[in-house]
Chains A and B, each alone.
Chain A
Amino acid sequence: MIGAGPARSSDNGRARLPDADGMATGPDGVRIAYEVFGTGDPPIVFLPSAPIVHSRQWKGQVPYFSRRHRVVTYDGRGNGRSDRPTEPEAFADDRFVGDLAAVMDDTRTDRAVLVGLCSDGVWRAIRYAVEQPDRVLGIVAFAVGVPRLTPPHPHYVTATAAFEDDAPTHEGWARYNAPFWRHDYPDFARFFFEEITSEPHSTKAIDDAVEWSVGGSVDSMIADARVDFPLDREGVEAICSAVRCPMLIVHGTEDSCQPIARARRLSELTGAPLVEVEGADHMIPGRHPVLANLLIRDFVRSLARDPS
């Protein structure tokens, strides 16, 4: 079943409105809503961390980079204005990579710098860069989410093992649970974003993320969580090692979603520099936008100087 997402409530008061928008069609016919801002090379594509949030997660980046670059954002399947499929196969890796390709095709973006966060952003950017090296100029990888690269945080291991269990109570990470999501998804969303945005003075970043999350689809979230990741550690490392474009890795030392060991391992495998942000948790672009923007800016500038 496919249902189109409703108009978003958080569109009021955007610092920068898109110059163009449209719908791309993903590999299985799922429609993917994108927006294009500004002009200037190289183009920058911001990947969504879907289906838990949508493209507004980059609100701290879009107004800044669209002054000098063509910026493309899109809502990942399952949230925002994109379709919301509910079968697990719709959330297989290939579909997400296919959505990125479809958006780049539809926006006539031949080559771009890819910026992503967590597994939805980083792992898919890496896969696309390996499959289509001519189309990826570079990758900025925030909060490295590459599955299998190292063990996940213990709280995820426990929670995912009991994901389908209908437990009588749901405290802490036990909220990461399909029956609980159907029962009280907003409670999970608030818990989740408070956990992974643990820096002081994060109330706005948390409120925004919760709003984007509860506007999404619980069925899509559950379908996405039920997907079996098809690769083992060796398979993942082989793909990471095959990245040929420049990459910058940025990871918070207090990241409670993705272990920093994954960022360190990715850095070893690719030779890409790793910026460890002391005291930062998972959502660096949302919680520390100036820092994130300066890091992206310097990386993009370094590409222009690269004679290759």
Chain B
Amino acid sequence: MRADGSVRSEPADRPEQTRARYPDETGVIERDGVRVAWERYGDGSPTILLMPTWSIIHSRLWKQQIPDLARRHRVIAFDGRGNGRSARPPTAEAYAEAEFAADALAVMDATSTERAVVITLSMGAQRGLLLASDHADRVAGMVFIGPSLALQPRAPDREAVNEFLEPPVSDEGWAKYNAHSWRRDYRGFLEFFFSQCFSEAHSTKPIEDAVGWGLETDPETLILTELAPGIGDRDAILARCARVTCPVLVIHGGDDRITPHARGEALARATRGRLVTIEGGGHIPNARDPVKVNLAIRDFVGRLERLERLGRSS
């Protein structure tokens, strides 16, 4: 018997860890020749769409949400272009935020998903906000975890230490956030970056997982994502927030070193949403504090369902 309780050893060539829950259905959509792989778990209503975040990792980032949510909901996840089982197109334009949002719509269409509760992490907030503001009829509710939206400045140490494409001034700390540094020591960047994402004690496992997912793509792809068109400046973001009509939940770590807690506060204000703070939490609380995050999502979806029932009965 092995320590995880299993008695069967996996074939050595299998790159993926054992999953607590396997998909009930998988598929691929294709837009402009770019293939994007999706998975469906469970059948319950409402459907929950798990958005991809920055392509530095892929849909396994939701590994601790899927088994819980799929007990009650139809859950759809997909690998963002640039990582996982999705394609790695060779141009920066292919990684525009609008493309990720269009992929999400295409996945919803391919799975006959009229509406969904959309859950995002970090950069996923940008494509999620595009979806919720341009296609309000498709979004029943939005959950933003550690939203990376430029509503507030970044922490001082995260402001550009050097130009992304210029040779870096050093190779320490955030100076690693640089194309040359990524090409020279990609793993070194991943280890640094995820050590900052997981600032909580006892995070060796989520760091190891995330570095492993990061190594499933490559620095050239990640450089393209960095150069891709975003969703505009603060005013453009606020204008989109004003067009969000669905209920919003923001979950933000109190010690988020990637995107400050103030951004989550600002987003909750701008969308008239509710803010749940994970005290002492880092940037990816769904991986580091999955029980707290899952319970907050459960509570939010439960209130959505009660609201919908009220709406129908009035």
Contact = CB atoms under 8 A, between A and B. Distances in A.
Interface of A: 199-201, 203-204, 207, 252, 275-280, 284, 287-288, 290-291, 294
A94 to B, nearest CB: 35
B3 A280 contact: yes
27 contacts: A199-B3, A200-B205, A201-B205, A201-B208, A203-B201, A203-B202, A203-B204, A204-B201, A204-B202, A207-B202, A275-B1, A276-B1, A277-B1, A277-B3, A278-B1, A278-B3, A279-B2, A279-B3, A287-B3, A288-B3, A288-B4, A290-B5, A291-B1, A291-B3, A291-B4, A291-B5, A294-B5
Given A203-B201, A207-B202, 10 more contacts: A199-B3, A203-B202, A275-B1, A276-B1, A277-B3, A279-B2, A284-B3, A290-B5, A291-B3, A291-B5
A200 B1 contact: no
Nearest to A202: B204
Given A203-B202, A207-B202, A278 B2 contact: yes
B206 to A, nearest CB: 9
Q: List the 6 closest pairs (A to B, CB-CB), nearest first.
A: A201-B205, A204-B202, A280-B3, A278-B2, A203-B202, A201-B204
B74 to A, nearest CB: 28
Nearest to B5: A291
Contacts of B4: 288, 291
User: Which of A276, A287, A288 has the most CB atoms of chain B within a 10 A radius of its CB?
Assistant: A288
Interface residues of B, number: 10
A294 B6 CA distance: 12
A103 B2 CA distance: 35
Contacts of B5: 290-291, 294
Contacts of A207: 201-202
A291 B3 CA distance: 7
Nearest to B2: A278
Interface in B148-205: 201-202, 204-205
Q: Is the interface of B mostly helix, strand, loop or mixed?
A: loop
Nearest to B204: A201
Nearest to B206: A201
Contacts of A288: 3-4
Contacts of B208: 200-201
Contacts of A200: 204-205, 208
Nearest to A287: B3
A280 B202 CA distance: 19
B23 to A, nearest CB: 24
Nearest to B203: A203
Contacts of A204: 201-202
A111 B145 CA distance: 51
A148 to B, nearest CB: 28
A232 to B, nearest CB: 33
Contacts of B204: 200-201, 203
Interface in B1-27: 1-5
B194 to A, nearest CB: 14
Contacts of B205: 200-201
A284 B3 CA distance: 8
A275 B2 CA distance: 10
A275 B3 CA distance: 11
A89 to B, nearest CB: 39
Contacts of A279: 2-3
A163 B85 CA distance: 57
Nearest to A275: B1
A279 B2 CA distance: 7
Nearest to A204: B202
A255 B208 CA distance: 24
Nearest to A278: B2
A277 B2 contact: yes
A252 B3 CA distance: 8
Interface in B192-229: 201-202, 204-205, 208
Contacts of A284: 3
A194 to B, nearest CB: 13
Contacts of B201: 203-204, 207
A277 B4 CA distance: 9
A60 B62 CA distance: 25
Contacts of A276: 1
B171 to A, nearest CB: 27
B161 to A, nearest CB: 29
A262 to B, nearest CB: 18
A280 B4 CA distance: 10
A261 B155 CA distance: 55
The interface centre, meaning the residue of B1, B3, B5 with most chain A CB atoms within 10 A of its CB, is B3
Interface string B70-90: 000000000000000000000
A157 to B, nearest CB: 28
